[in-house]
Amino acid sequence: MSYRVLEVVPRHVFRTARNVSAASDIIVVTLRAQDLVGIGEAAPSRFYGEDTETVVSWLENMRPGVEDCLHESELMALLTSHGGTTHPAARASLEIAAHDMLGKRYGVPLFRHLELDPAKAPLTTMSIGLDEPDVMVEKASAVKGFPVLKVKLSSGTGSDVVRRIMKATGADITVDANCGWTRDEAVERGRELAELGVLLIEQPVAADDIDGLRFVRDRTEVPIYADESCPTGASIAALDGAVDGIVVKLMKCGGIVEAVRMAGAAKKRGLQTMIGCMLESSLALTAAAHMSPLFDLADLDSGLLLTEDPFVGMTIDRGRMSLPDAPGLGVEQRPGTFWEQHEPA
């Protein structure tokens, strides 16, 4: 096992109601077994208790067991034996790499191994980060052609910017408050956004305020989705009656296996599902895209937000995702990138 820390930089400083990101680290993991190579990615979030140092420390702690594995199935068993909900992005990096190797071993793309039809993948949204309203409208207009845009809102950004973006682009809109509203504020905003016809609101209140989600859902016509309130499948039962859908992310749930479980568990409870992302490269995004036919909605746009994406994988054309047909993830290093130029001997 080897790994490398890479910095990814968004084209514009990316702001949400709870975070500002001018740059972020990803940790790229490489696994080798016989003649097979698998790659994975961790994009840690301090909100979920991880950063670059914790990921690297966890990988080093796992190194002896990982290097004793001769087959990716042994690695999956090792990860299962180290159960729990901590270090989700670090776990995801190894699991993504294992699935990449698995597909390569059998010569099939990951979506085929999962018995999924890529033609059934949902459209992905394009995110418009928080900024001055005029700037948000300008950014949205620059990506005109995406059928669905995700607009970040906070207490200080009024719903009128959503109306302006709708008028400028003609796109359908989802709204993400990232825990930024009080219960009463969320109800008021929900009513305003319902009049505008937005498709859904993500995480209007604090992550630990499940009763607040229920309070808002009971008082607005806009579907309410849980993101920060639903890190893993263990969170779903508590959300009964509180939300209409959940957002699943590889970096908060710990990998592909748990994400598949979450999609199934949510559907059994009548919940809608969205597959989302952190600030990730096309490596992790492509892993998520392979699973996307399991989900009703997708938000896998972060590669388009970067100044330089170090990987080439799935592509997006006006919201439509196209998956590589190569074995495993089908992801390659982007020619001429920092990653390639600084490959160690």
pLDDT band at 339 (very low <50, low <70, confident <90, very high): low
- Quote the pLDDT of residue 17: 58
Q: Which residues contact 14 (CB under 8 A, 6 or more apart)?
A: 20, 21, 22, 127, 129, 279, 305
Q: Do domains 2-107 and 113-333 have the same CATH topology?
A: no
Reported as a pLDDT band with limits 50, 70 and 90, residue 342 is: very low
Render the burial of 178-213: b for 16+ CB within 10 Å, e for the rest: bbbbebeebbebbebbeeeebbbbbbbbbbebbebb
3-state secondary structure at position 274: strand
pLDDT value at residue 31: 95
Of 314, 261, 265, 267, which is closest to residue 290 (Cα–Cα)? 314
Q: Which CATH number fits domain 113-333: 3.20.20.120, 3.40.1360.10, 1.10.4000.10, 1.10.10.10?
A: 3.20.20.120
How deeply is 232 buried, as exposed, middle or buried, from its count of CB atoms within 10 A (0-12, 13-18, 19+)? middle
Average pLDDT over residues 84-105: 93
Task: Identify the pLDDT of residue 12.
Answer: 77
C-alpha to C-alpha distance for 266 and 248, rounded to whole angstroms: 10
Question: Residue 237 gets which letter from DSSP?
Answer: G
Q: Is the pLDDT of residue 83 over 80?
A: no
Instruction: Tell me what pLDDT residue 11 has.
Output: 85
Question: pLDDT-based confidence at 20, cuts 50/70/90?
Answer: low
Residue 329 has pLDDT above 90, yes or no: yes
Residues written for the chain: 345
**How far apart (Å, rounded) are the C-alpha atoms in residues 144 and 239?**
35
Lowest average pLDDT, out of 115-124, 167-176, 329-338, goes to 329-338
Q: How far apart are CA 184 and CA 205, in angstroms?
A: 10
2-107 classified as CATH 3.30.390.10: yes
Task: Answer for the pair 285, 276: CB distance below 8 angstroms, yes or no.
Answer: no
Lowest mean pLDDT among 9-23, 122-136, 215-229: 9-23
pLDDT at 343 (0 to 100):
44
Give me the residue spans of the domains in the chain: 2-107, 113-333
**Using CA atoms, how far apart are residues 291 and 231, in angstroms rounded to an integer?**
17
Mean pLDDT for all residues in the chain: 93
By percentage, how much of the chain surpasses pLDDT 70? 96
pLDDT in tens, 267-312: 999 999 999 999 999 999 999 999 999 999 999 999 999 999 999 9
Residue 18, pLDDT score: 63
Residue 265: pLDDT over 90: yes
Mean pLDDT for 24-30 is 96
Of 246, 245, 308, 258, which is closest to residue 288 (Cα–Cα)? Answer: 258
pLDDT band at residue 344 using 50, 70 and 90 as cut-offs: very low
Q: Which is more confidently placed, 212 or 13?
A: 212
pLDDT tens string 28-81: 999 998 889 999 999 999 999 999 999 999 999 999 999 888 788 888 888 887
